[in-house]
Amino acid sequence: MAPPWDEARAAAAALDAADPLAHVRDRFVHPDGVYLDGNSLGLLPRAVVPRMRTAVEEEWGRGLIGSWNTAGWASLPTRVGDRLARLLGAPAGSVVAGDSTSVHLFNALVAAARLRPGRTALVTDVANFPTDGYVAASVARLLGLDLVLVDPSDPLALARELDEHLAVLTLSHVDYRTGMLHDMAAITAQAHAAGGVVVWDVAHSVGALPVDLVEADADLAVGCTYKYLCGGPGAPAFAFVHPRWGDVADPPLTGWWGHEDPFALEPGYRPAPGAARLRVGSPPVLSMIALDSALDVFDDVDMRLVRAKSLALTDLVVDLVDRYVPDVEVVVPREHERRGSQVCLRHPDAYPVVQALIDRGVVGDFREPDLARFGFTPLTLRHVDVVDAVATLDDVLRTDAWRVPRYSRRSSVT
Amino acid sequence: MAPPWDEARAAAAALDAADPLAHVRDRFVHPDGVYLDGNSLGLLPRAVVPRMRTAVEEEWGRGLIGSWNTAGWASLPTRVGDRLARLLGAPAGSVVAGDSTSVHLFNALVAAARLRPGRTALVTDVANFPTDGYVAASVARLLGLDLVLVDPSDPLALARELDEHLAVLTLSHVDYRTGMLHDMAAITAQAHAAGGVVVWDVAHSVGALPVDLVEADADLAVGCTYKYLCGGPGAPAFAFVHPRWGDVADPPLTGWWGHEDPFALEPGYRPAPGAARLRVGSPPVLSMIALDSALDVFDDVDMRLVRAKSLALTDLVVDLVDRYVPDVEVVVPREHERRGSQVCLRHPDAYPVVQALIDRGVVGDFREPDLARFGFTPLTLRHVDVVDAVATLDDVLRTDAWRVPRYSRRSSVT
């Protein structure tokens, strides 16, 4: 007997009718089906379409070089940074946008290590997102530090590595595979007690839940904007530096845009005050403008409501899977305080299952070795979408629809 | 008596009528007036307008995450790199695009220095574009090298610094202020004879003249695409690595996109073969697509014709200024083989003169302390535009039109 999906859908529809964020959904272009990959690439905000036309046809086409001033291109890195700062619990002047997360992270890690000369350990998550691990290893090698890998979900293991050798601890706020949310304030305090500095990667939390970098006393942070912030494909990432380090931090990527007066074209480098020194070269203006426009969506949005809806959506999927889809295991933590905005389900044939779901309009992604990952973007999804997604999953498993050759192995994109 | 501008214009019109590149001009959106700042930001190619609409509305809006594969986003860094390679005299697989020039240069300089362990000197141009100098200084500090500043236009001074200590020589192909073109092959050979490697910045030559990196035996190179290549504001820059170093180069920016199999998300870093290892993080897709589309303009263009027209345009401006505008001094070299595609004029009040010209639709830029800089983009300018620009300059000087308070000092953008 099939599960009572009609009942579940009716209950979900009632929740949607009472959703204080329901109206925000209309600000996006929606694909057919249920898109649960907003944690890889967020939906297109409608307002971006005319904004990009203006940027290309008027600002570039007509304004040309003058648009650096008249259209505000020159202030994009700091202006977009200030808009992001509100979503990061950070003051104006402490965030800039412009390069990729990998580039910002490299710059932040070297700057962080330079705050702790003489210390020898660069500590990171053994299961960190690969680019974070690769960049940490490169920085350790360049500066002659010891790279130490830990499991941040194990407090005792973490405590053992945070000692008098600690220069820098760098972690992701949310584990990109399992969706586990780490306690930023507690871990930062632990690292500070050992005398180190902390660099957080908030790529998988910003825009999905309230992030409070200053409250958590983070030293530096980076994050990406193409996931929950809907900034567009490969949208420029950002970097944060705590105000206490704003005039002290000494980043290695000393491009002219990090200079106090870039257009004076002085022979000697003088870093700009605050996060502005984390700018590097000319920002990719068209991509920056799409991001700037996308952030309009968040202007009147209360991130506490976003978090509440995120948890309601992931609670619902966990509840429905627990009750009606016994063949998969819920991997995301049950406790709210340890959960990001995604749900991972374990199934031995997760890859073909994800492909069969995509073919039926339910878009998630596969993560090695046996995880199906679904992101729940609170501004674009409804509770009924969750029911539809789980009902489709149930149908795919119940009918063995994933057991066909065309769902066999290939790579995917985060 | 005013100079014979009508005669000059008639002669110029005859040259335009015989110009084999005249038809290419129609591929661009043209502003009113005479835009001589294409060496700062190139004109908008018409085809970019519909291409960007498709990218935003269809590929992002409808295709979403699937567009990384179906719309070819994932291959943009190498695919655009291969298109640039043709303009750089480089083979497929030796060029990638994606980050800013500053970021690519940092990565290239560290990779270059690692090819010469034990050597101690990083040599660069004392008058290099500031970001190149800042980045070279940062790399020297990070790796414990001595930063040595030379004047590359003085062969004896250069020869003195290229000795057994040389690890890396890094220079700009064209001086961003004076427009002087350096002999890439001869200088590279000199540095190789001393046992060093060479990193060229071709930001001010690519797209304006044939660049032949392999013929000149350059080891690595970087350059920007928002000038003569018309890739858009802050368009992604590129990096080249000679095939002999493609599987040896060891860049420090080990983002996941430089990995041999980025989407396998492996814990350990394995660099991709060739220039693909110079990719770092997710590329700014919207800006990359504008650049990709802009490069269509060059597909059927013979760069030797471009160079011939560039020299004809700059010869004409030099000739007209010499003959009719005695108050300014031509700074760009007279010899063709030492001239890029720009003309610098010296005037003690260059700043207000440039402002007065801009107000009259002749857009150039000012460079400290007394230079008016005009770029001549051969694909978008006519010979009559040159006459109009010089006639306007003559009028501004003859009538003292620049001596008004509103043309007083402010900063400008390169």
For residue range B218-251, what is the model confidence (pLDDT) as tens digits?
999 999 999 999 999 999 999 999 999 999 999 9
Partners of A266 on chain B (C-beta within 8 Å) are 130
pLDDT of residue A267: 85
Residue A254 CA, chain-centre distance (Å), reads 25
Q: Kindly tell me if the per-residue pLDDT of B129 is higher than 50.
A: yes
Q: Is the pLDDT of residue A413 over 80?
A: no
The answer to whether the CB of A107 falls within 8 A of the CB of A239 is yes
Share of chain B above pLDDT 90, in %: 91
Helices and strands of chain A, counted as H and E runs: 12, 13
pLDDT for A396 beyond 70: yes
The two tokens of residue A236 are 């420029």
Residue B414 has pLDDT above 70, yes or no: no
What pLDDT was estimated at residue B413? 47
The single residue of A28, A106, A129, A351 carrying the catalytic annotation is A129
**What is the sign, positive or negative, of the torsion defined by CA atoms of A218, A222, A227, A228?**
positive
Structure-token pair, residue A67: 């648009």
Which of B65, B224, B282 is facing A363, going by the closest CB pair?
Answer: B65
Question: What is the reported pLDDT for A178?
Answer: 85
Q: Is B217 left (phi over 0), alpha (psi -120 to 50) or beta?
A: left
Q: Minimal Cα distance from B33: which residue of A?
A: A62
Residue B354's closest CA among A265, A65, A282, A267?
Answer: A65
B192 Cβ neighbours under 8 A, 6+ residues apart: B198, B217
Please, which residues have CB within 8 angstroms of residue A216's CB and are 6 or more apart in sequence? A89, A184, A185, A188, A200
Of A383, A241, A102, A387, the closest CA to residue B253 belongs to A102
- Give the ranges where B147-196 is alpha helix by DSSP (H): 155-161, 184-193
Assess whether A129 carries a catalytic annotation: yes
Q: Which amino acid is at A16?
A: D
- Region of B195 (left: φ > 0; alpha: ψ -120 to 50; beta: rest) is left
| pLDDT tens, position by position, A133-168 | 999 999 999 999 999 999 999 989 999 999 999 999
> Are the Cβ atoms of B367 and A106 closer than 8 angstroms?
no
Of B102, B135, B252, the CB nearest to A138: B252
Q: How far is A393 from chain B, CA to nearest CA, in Å?
A: 20
Q: Whole-model pTM above 0.95?
A: yes
Residues of B in contact with A101 (CB under 8 A): 281-282
What is the predicted pLDDT for the residue at B410?
A: 59
Using CB atoms, pick whichever of B100, B101, B233 lies closest to residue A60.
Answer: B233
Mean pLDDT, rounded, for A256-285: 94
DSSP B331: -
CA torsion sign for A312, A314, A317, A320 is negative
| Whether residue A411 has pLDDT greater than 90 | no
Q: Which residue has the tokens 């959960």?
A: A339
Q: Write the DSSP symbol of residue B226.
A: S
Do A50-298 and A5-30+302-407 fall under one CATH topology?
no
- Whether B262 and B256 have beta carbons less than 8 Å apart is answered as yes
- Please say if B226 is a catalytic residue: yes
B3 vs A60: CA distance, rounded Å: 35
DSSP letters for B54-91: IIIIIIIIIIGGGHHHHT-GGGHHHHHHHHHHHHHT--
| Residue of B36, B40, B126, B131 to mutate, testing the A interface (most A Cβ within 10 Å of its Cβ) | B131
Is the pLDDT at B84 greater than 80? The verdict is yes
Catalytic residue among A28, A176, A226, A298: A226
**What are the boundaries of each domain within chain B?**
5-30+301-407, 50-298
> Counting runs of H as helices and runs of E as strands, what totals does chain B give?
12, 13
| Chain A residues with beta carbon closer than 8 angstroms to that of B69 | 413
Could you give the percent of chain A with pLDDT greater than 90? 91
| Three-state DSSP class for residue A398 | helix
Phi, psi of A149 (to 5 degrees): -105, 130
Does A351 participate in catalysis according to the annotation?
Answer: no
Q: pLDDT tens for residues B291-331?
A: 999 999 999 999 999 999 999 999 999 999 999 999 999 99
- Dihedral angle, C-alpha B392, B393, B394, B395, nearest 10 °: 50
**Average pLDDT of span B282-296:** 98
pLDDT in tens, B371-411: 999 999 999 999 999 999 999 999 999 999 999 988 976 54
Q: Nearest CA to A308 among A336, A277, A334, A286?
A: A336
**3 state SS for A190-250:** HHHHCCCEEEEECCCCECCECCCCCCCCCCEEEECCCCCCCCCCCCCCEEEECHHHCCCCC
User: Token pair of B170, please?
Assistant: 């890094």
Residue B367 has pLDDT above 70, yes or no: yes
Query: In this structure, what is the dihedral angle of CA atoms B185, B190, B194, B196, given to the nearest 10 degrees?
Result: -30
pLDDT tens per residue, range A338-372: 999 999 999 999 999 999 999 999 999 998 889 99
Interatomic CA distance for residues B38 and B40, integer angstroms: 5
Residue A43 near residue A381, CB atoms below 8 Å: no
Tens of pLDDT, residue by residue over A90-129, are: 999 999 999 999 999 999 999 999 999 999 999 999 988 8
Beta strands B238-241 and B95-97 are antiparallel
CA dihedral A165, A170, A176, A177 (to 10 degrees): 0
* Catalytic choice (B119, B227, B277, B279): B227
pLDDT tens digits for A200-237? Answer: 999 999 999 999 999 999 999 999 999 999 999 999 99
Strands B197-201 and B166-172: parallel
> What tokens were used for B128?
């290099």
Task: Say if residue B369 is preceded by a cis peptide, omega within 30 of 0.
Answer: yes
- Pick B102's closest partner by Cβ from A263, A265, A281: A281
Q: Is B51 a catalytic residue?
A: no
Looking from the CA of A50 toward its CB, the CA atoms found within 13 Å total 2
Which of A110, A287, A374 is the mutation pick for testing B, counting most B CBs within 10 A?
A: A287
pLDDT of residue A400: 93
Question: In angstroms, how far is CA B378 from the centroid of its own chain?
Answer: 14
Q: Which two tokens stand for residue A197?
A: 């500095």
Task: Retrieve residue B250's tokens.
Answer: 């060891």
- Residue to mutate among A56, A135, A366, with most B CBs inside 10 A, is A56
The token pair at B219 is 């080891």
Nearest CB neighbour to B255, from listed A131, A267, A284: A131
Please report which confidence band the pLDDT of residue A247 belongs to, taking 50, 70 and 90 as the band edges.
very high
| CB spacing of A286 vs B287 below 8 angstroms | yes
DSSP state of B267: S
Neighboring chain A residues of B252 at a CB cutoff of 8 Å = 106, 138, 142
CB pairs under 8 A between A and B: 269
Residue A345, beta-bridge partner list: A330, A372
The chain-wide mean pLDDT, for chain A, equals: 95
pLDDT digits (tens, 9 = 90+) for B52-73: 999 999 999 999 999 999 999 9
CB within 8 Å of A291: residues ≥ 6 apart: A80, A97, A225, A229, A231, A232, A235, A236
d(CA A20, CA A195): 44
Instruction: Count Cβ atoms within 10 A of the Cβ of residue A62 and give its class: 0-12 exposed, 13-18 middle, 19 or more buried.
Output: middle
Q: What span, in angstroms and rounded, lies between the C-alpha atoms of A213 and A228?
A: 17
**CA distance linking residue B253 with residue A370, whole number of Å:** 30
Residues of chain A contacting residue B49, judged by C-beta atoms under 8 Å apart:
56-57, 61
Distance CA A220, CA A224 (A): 14
Q: How many CB atoms lie within 10 A of CB B65?
A: 25
Model pLDDT, residue A410: 59
pLDDT in tens, B136-194: 999 999 999 999 999 999 989 999 999 999 999 999 999 988 889 999 999 999 999 99
| Rg, C-alpha atoms of chain A | 22
| Per-residue pLDDT band at A414 (split at 50, 70, 90) | very low
| CB spacing of B134 vs A255 below 8 angstroms | yes
Two structure tokens written together for A139 = 């920085």
Task: Tell me whether residue B407 is one of the annotated catalytic residues.
Answer: no
Neighbour tally for A410: CB within 10 Å: 10
Cα torsion A126, A128, A131, A135 to 10°: value is: -50
Kindly report the three-state secondary structure assignment for every residue of A279-343. CCCCCCHHHHHHHHHHHHHHCCCCHHHHHHHHHHHHHHHHHHHHHHCCCCEECCCCCHHHECCEE
Helix, strand, or coil (residue A148): strand
User: Would the CB atoms of A233 and B62 count as touching at under 8 Å?
Assistant: no
Domain A50-298 is in which class? alpha beta
Please give the class, per CATH, of domain B5-30+301-407.
Answer: alpha beta
- Alpha carbon distances (Å) from B395 to B36, B61, B324, B343: 17, 51, 11, 19
Architecture of domain A5-30+302-407: Alpha-Beta Complex (3.90)
Helix (H, G, I), strand (E, B) or coil at A50: helix
